[in-house]
A and B are shown apart, each in its own frame.
Chain A
């Protein structure tokens, strides 16, 4: 394996040319995204730089307690972020928090137990970040669909409840659809990986000079890990969140109006 590459700040600044292209396209087509592009660029710079220093500190210290603290912070922030996508779901924060924690903890514990990665900060931090990031997206998409489907199918749900169905029985088709919505994007991207796009880990390793076969194997490990964690996150979030639409007497609550 070659030595790691060391991109300079100048090289990072040079890529802003591509960001300018994005802003120009938005302005030309009046997509009104210039401000969002600017915020995204600045936020990503500040957040990644800050997390870079945090990760450096954690890797230097190599203490599991710091790893656990960082992952807990990612779970917390992920739940807050995903909640905004699930505005139609009452009290969505708690199901999301539990879903991300379950996905993160169980996935990391399993890969360590299977001997895929060692229980060291240099493995657990990047893999944990990847797992929680993907789990957050999947859980948010699943809950977004759940909220929309409950609002759209309220008469069907009540008609089923009126026949003596439990909340779980009445919600089964909607839970199934929500779960599919959360999982399908990753399954599709896993299907097309290597054909239509090269995933980030593989690209990063190739750029860093790793042997292609090593890059591919690590990428496969991460893709399979992500499939499991995303499924766990979507399932946990949907199973916990769907109950908040109902009273203990299997009655559909009045639905909240989403903030516009």
Chain B
């Protein structure tokens, strides 16, 4: 099993966000679906230890995530946040940033191409790009690490319909070309259906069992 959450609870700012969640996430592409505030992004952050659960265990390939070297885990399980948060420098430096942290070079052109951007973007200033282009640079930055798992937090939330469709096509292409597993957070059930092999539905910090009615 790729990830297994066992009785995981988590609070943020004194508010319970995940309550006794137990769920398995298999290889392939999984969508975490649910309304705003359901705990999807928090669950995603637990998978590469940007946060730790207050109770319960998160396992990655059978081992407690806390038993891994946290920096190595984050390079192997790369997370692309909901909003672009790029360094105020060129696209090339942004994409090469992750590999450079551990002294490696990056195939910037290949990462950009995987993320659906032409290599001509490389010398451009990242913060002068459109939000959609910046989101793709964020994706390329994560892909440059050569991750085994890609965590995508609402990858199209900040985009208009046209840019959203383009990013979806890129993600479908990634699915076909990469051996990496994808875990995608989205509030859009239709998008989840288009992108993922299986859905995990979250509501009010709990996983909704198959067949259970959606209340939100």
In the bound complex, do residue B70 and residue A250 qualify as a contact, i.e. CB atoms below 8 Å apart? Answer: yes
Nearest chain B residue, comparing its CB with the CB of A163: B98
In the bound complex, do residue B70 and residue A249 qualify as a contact, i.e. CB atoms below 8 Å apart? Answer: yes
**Within 8 Å CB of A249, what residues of B?**
49, 52, 66, 70
What sequence of 0s and 1s flags, for each residue 132-151 of chain B, a beta carbon within 8 Å of any chain A beta carbon?
00000010011001000000
Q: Measured between C-beta atoms, what is the minimum distance from A172 to chain B in Å?
A: 11
**Within 8 Å CB of B78, what residues of A?**
162-163
Contacts A155-B83, A158-B81 known; A251 to B75 CB distance under 8 Å?
Answer: no
**Within 8 Å CB of A160, what residues of B?**
85, 87, 97
Count the A-B residue pairs with Cβ separation under 8 angstroms: how many?
Answer: 63
In the bound complex, do residue B79 and residue A162 qualify as a contact, i.e. CB atoms below 8 Å apart? Answer: yes
Docked Cα-Cα span, A159 to B50, in Å, equals 9
Contacts A163-B97, A163-B101, A163-B142 known; A251 to B51 CB distance under 8 Å?
Answer: yes
**Within 8 Å CB of B138, what residues of A?**
159
**Within 8 Å CB of B12, what residues of A?**
254
A155 touches which one: B70, B71, B81, B102 (CB < 8 A)? Answer: B81
Nearest chain B residue, comparing its CB with the CB of A247: B52
A166 within 8 A of B: yes
In the bound complex, do residue A254 and residue B71 qualify as a contact, i.e. CB atoms below 8 Å apart? Answer: no
Q: Can you name 17 extra interface pairs (CB under 8 A) apart from A162-B80, A252-B50?
A: A156-B87, A158-B50, A158-B81, A160-B87, A161-B74, A162-B50, A162-B74, A163-B78, A163-B97, A163-B98, A164-B98, A164-B145, A165-B71, A165-B98, A173-B87, A251-B51, A254-B12
Interface residues of B in 9-24 (CB under 8 A from A): 12-13
Contacts A249-B52, A254-B12, A254-B13 known; A165 to B81 CB distance under 8 Å?
Answer: no
**Within 8 Å CB of B79, what residues of A?**
162
**Within 8 Å CB of A193, what residues of B?**
none
In the bound complex, do residue B50 and residue A164 qualify as a contact, i.e. CB atoms below 8 Å apart? Answer: no
Which applies to chain B's interface (DSSP): helix, strand, loop or mixed? Answer: mixed
Interface extent on B, as a size class?
Answer: 20 to 34
Binding site for B on A (CB under 8 A): 155-156, 158-166, 169, 173, 247, 249-252, 254
**Within 8 Å CB of B66, what residues of A?**
249
In the bound complex, do residue A165 and residue B101 qualify as a contact, i.e. CB atoms below 8 Å apart? Answer: yes
Binding site for A on B (CB under 8 A): 12-13, 48-52, 66, 70-72, 74-75, 78-81, 83, 85-87, 97-98, 101-102, 138, 141-142, 145
**Within 8 Å CB of A164, what residues of B?**
71-72, 74-75, 98, 101-102, 145
In the bound complex, do residue B71 and residue A250 qualify as a contact, i.e. CB atoms below 8 Å apart? Answer: yes
Q: Measured between C-beta atoms, what is the minimum distance from B65 to chain A in Å?
A: 10
**Within 8 Å CB of A155, what residues of B?**
81, 83, 85
Contacts A251-B49, A251-B52 known; A166 to B85 CB distance under 8 Å?
Answer: no
A163 touches which one: B51, B70, B72, B145 (CB < 8 A)? Answer: B145
5 closest A-B pairs by beta carbon, nearest first, are A159-B85, A163-B98, A164-B75, A162-B79, A156-B85
Q: Measured between C-beta atoms, what is the minimum distance from A156 to chain B in Å?
A: 4
**Within 8 Å CB of A247, what residues of B?**
52
Q: Measured between C-beta atoms, what is the minimum distance from B94 to chain A in Å?
A: 10
Docked Cα-Cα span, A247 to B138, in Å, equals 25
In the bound complex, do residue B81 and residue A162 qualify as a contact, i.e. CB atoms below 8 Å apart? Answer: yes
Q: Measured between C-beta atoms, what is the minimum distance from A139 to chain B in Å?
A: 26
Contacts A163-B142, A164-B101, A169-B101 known; A251 to B50 CB distance under 8 Å?
Answer: yes
Docked Cα-Cα span, A169 to B100, in Å, equals 11
Nearest chain B residue, comparing its CB with the CB of A257: B13
Docked Cα-Cα span, A252 to B79, in Å, equals 15
**Within 8 Å CB of B51, what residues of A?**
251
Docked Cα-Cα span, A246 to B66, in Å, equals 16
**Within 8 Å CB of A252, what residues of B?**
50
Docked Cα-Cα span, A163 to B137, in Å, equals 13
**Within 8 Å CB of A251, what residues of B?**
49-52
Q: Measured between C-beta atoms, what is the minimum distance from A81 to chain B in Å?
A: 30
Docked Cα-Cα span, A249 to B70, in Å, equals 7
In the bound complex, do residue A159 and residue B81 qualify as a contact, i.e. CB atoms below 8 Å apart? Answer: yes
Docked Cα-Cα span, A155 to B78, in Å, equals 15
Nearest chain A residue, comparing its CB with the CB of B88: A173
Q: List 5 A-B contacts (CB under 8 A).
A: A156-B86, A156-B87, A163-B74, A164-B71, A164-B101
